[in-house]
């Protein structure tokens, strides 16, 4: 056996067969591996690409990472149409079927508990952006500063306005989050996205995931929709429905974003490094692309 | 659900979930590529693709 087993998700058995044309990572069709009353959704991947060294190298290759992530998501997404899958983290690979069975046996209690918890629920992603340069039309009449003192005064006013916009964005995001959290069973704060990486205009001030029963999803979506024009200069984006990725992590250690200090957490250190101090960046006004904001949920 | 236009999912949204979420298992292969490593890897890949000039913030970790 030259192939390894890539595992996408664990589910309870479901009656509907997967679409015949569904393809997973590297084009292989996913299959169902039944064991102990659970189903692992797997496909075969070449050992040459998924042995540890090759995988490490591949993950640094953005095209490869993107293709693999999309293939993984494609399979998980197909599963959400027939069941509530428990998605695994990207690139979870086992030697063979029997190793997958051993894994299921070792974790079956966790799987069942999580599957019960997530049954019939989906994840919605909500992001809030402070639009670039919104709501600050310079009074065109006061064109050229008459003196150095005028210039400094206007500079001071501008940085003051900048700070006000920032605070307004945080208040808006916080209010929105509180309303959404009320309608959701759980939430997770993701780190705000770096504008250079996302390519989205504006400063991302909230990047949250909400766990919502399917039956209440329409209401939730409408609620988000209603807030879209509520405040000038703010942009609200909704993504989903997702399989409950953000709620499938370890029971402990997934909530580090909730109520912890804004820059704490060794786990977040890597990202924080690239998205250096948000507040400082915002206040300086001279913001480079590689900075981002700390979310309003990260208590301060 | 009118707001949910089925645009192609942004890669960053995907990576937020696939690299920071999902059940973490110790696979045969991925045992040392779990968690933190992946978070590093995704940023590393993304940053270098966005801007070759940006030095990797993770060099000291290599």
For residues A100 and A33, the answer to whether their CB atoms sit within 8 Å is: yes
Averaged over A248-274, what is the pLDDT?
A: 39
pTM of the model: 0.75
pLDDT of residue A270: 33
The residue that leads in pLDDT, A286 or B40, is: B40
For residues A92 and B28, the answer to whether their CB atoms sit within 8 Å is: no
Residue of A195, A167, A165, A171 whose CA lies nearest to A292: A195
Nearest Cβ partner of B46 from A62, A91, A242? A62
**Set of chain A residues whose Cβ sits within 8 Å of the Cβ of B54:** 290
> Phi/psi at A50 (nearest 5 deg)?
-120, 5
Peptide bond into A241 cis (omega under 30): yes
> Which pair of tokens denotes residue B15?
């990576």
Which range, of A214-218, A248-252, A265-269, averages the lowest pLDDT?
A265-269
d(C-alpha A106, C-alpha A93), whole Å: 16
Question: What are the residue boundaries of the structural domains of chain B, listed by start?
Answer: 11-61
Res A69 pLDDT > 60 = yes
The arrangement of strands across the sheet holding A186-189 comes to A186-189, A203-213, A121-130, A234-242
Q: How many CB atoms lie within 10 A of CB A52?
A: 14
Res A107 pLDDT > 80 = yes
Question: What interface predicted TM-score (ipTM) does this complex get?
Answer: 0.73
Q: Do B58 and A70 make contact, defined as CB atoms within 8 angstroms? A: no
DSSP letter, residue A63: H
Question: What are the residue boundaries of the structural domains of chain A, listed by start?
Answer: 3-118, 121-284
Residue of B11, B15, B19 whose CA lies nearest to B37: B19
- Residue B50, chain A, CB below 8 Å: the answer is yes
Q: Do A69 and B11 make contact, defined as CB atoms within 8 angstroms? A: yes
> Which pair of tokens denotes residue A197?
């990486």
Res B40 pLDDT > 70 = no
Rounded to the nearest 10°, the torsion over CA A110, A111, A115, A117 is: 10
> Which pair of tokens denotes residue A286?
């001279």
pLDDT of residue A53: 82
Which residues make Cβ contacts (< 8 Å) with residue A265, sequence separation at least 6? A256, A257
Q: What residues are paired with A186 via a beta bridge? A: A211
The residue that leads in pLDDT, A264 or B39, is: B39
Nearest Cβ partner of A73 from B14, B25, B44? B14
Q: Do B18 and A90 make contact, defined as CB atoms within 8 angstroms? A: yes
Q: What residues are paired with A124 via a beta bridge? A: A210
DSSP letter, residue A263: T
Tens digits of residue pLDDT in A48-61 = 999 888 887 888 78
> What residue has token string 């206040």?
A283
pLDDT of residue A224: 96
């Amino acid at each position: 056996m030259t192939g390894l087993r890539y595992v996408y998700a664990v589910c309870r058995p479901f009656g509907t067969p997967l679409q015949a044309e569904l393809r997973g990572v590297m084009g292989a069709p996913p299959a169902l591996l039944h064991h102990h009353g659970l189903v692992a959704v797997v496909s075969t991947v070449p050992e040459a690409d998924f042995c540890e060294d090759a995988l490490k190298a591949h993950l640094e290759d953005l095209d490869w990472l993107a293709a693999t992530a999309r293939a993984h998501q494609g399979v998980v997404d197909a599963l959400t149409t027939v069941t509530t899958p428990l998605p695994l983290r990207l690139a979870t690979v086992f030697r063979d079927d029997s190793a997958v069975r051993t894994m299921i046996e070792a974790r079956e209690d966790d799987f069942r508990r999580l599957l019960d918890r997530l049954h019939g629920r989906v994840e919605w992603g909500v992001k809030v952006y402070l639009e670039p340069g919104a709501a600050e039309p310079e009074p065109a009449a006061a064109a050229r500063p008459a003196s150095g003192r005028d210039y400094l005064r206007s500079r001071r006013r501008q940085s003051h306005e900048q700070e006000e916009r920032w605070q307004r964005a945080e208040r808006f995001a916080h209010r929105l989050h509180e309303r959404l959290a009320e309608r959701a069973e759980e939430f997770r704060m993701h780190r705000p996205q770096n504008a250079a990486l996302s390519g989205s205009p504006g400063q991302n001030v909230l990047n949250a995931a909400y766990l919502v029963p399917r039956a209440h999803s329409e209401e939730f979506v409408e609620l988000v929709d209603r807030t879209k024009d509520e405040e000038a200069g703010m942009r609200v984006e909704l993504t989903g429905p997702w399989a409950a990725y953000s709620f499938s992590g370890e029971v402990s250690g997934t909530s580090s974003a909730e109520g912890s200090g804004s820059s704490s957490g060794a786990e977040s250190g890597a990202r924080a490094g690239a998205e250096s101090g948000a507040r400082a960046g915002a206040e300086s006004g001279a913001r480079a692309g590689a900075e981002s904001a700390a979310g309003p949920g990260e208590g301060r | 659900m009118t707001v949910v236009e089925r645009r192609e999912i942004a890669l960053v949204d995907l990576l937020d979930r696939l690299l920071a979420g999902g059940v973490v298992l110790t696979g045969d292969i991925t045992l040392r590529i779990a968690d933190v490593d992946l978070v590093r890897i995704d940023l590393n890949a993304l940053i270098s693709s966005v801007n070759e000039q940006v030095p990797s913030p993770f060099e000291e970790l290599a």
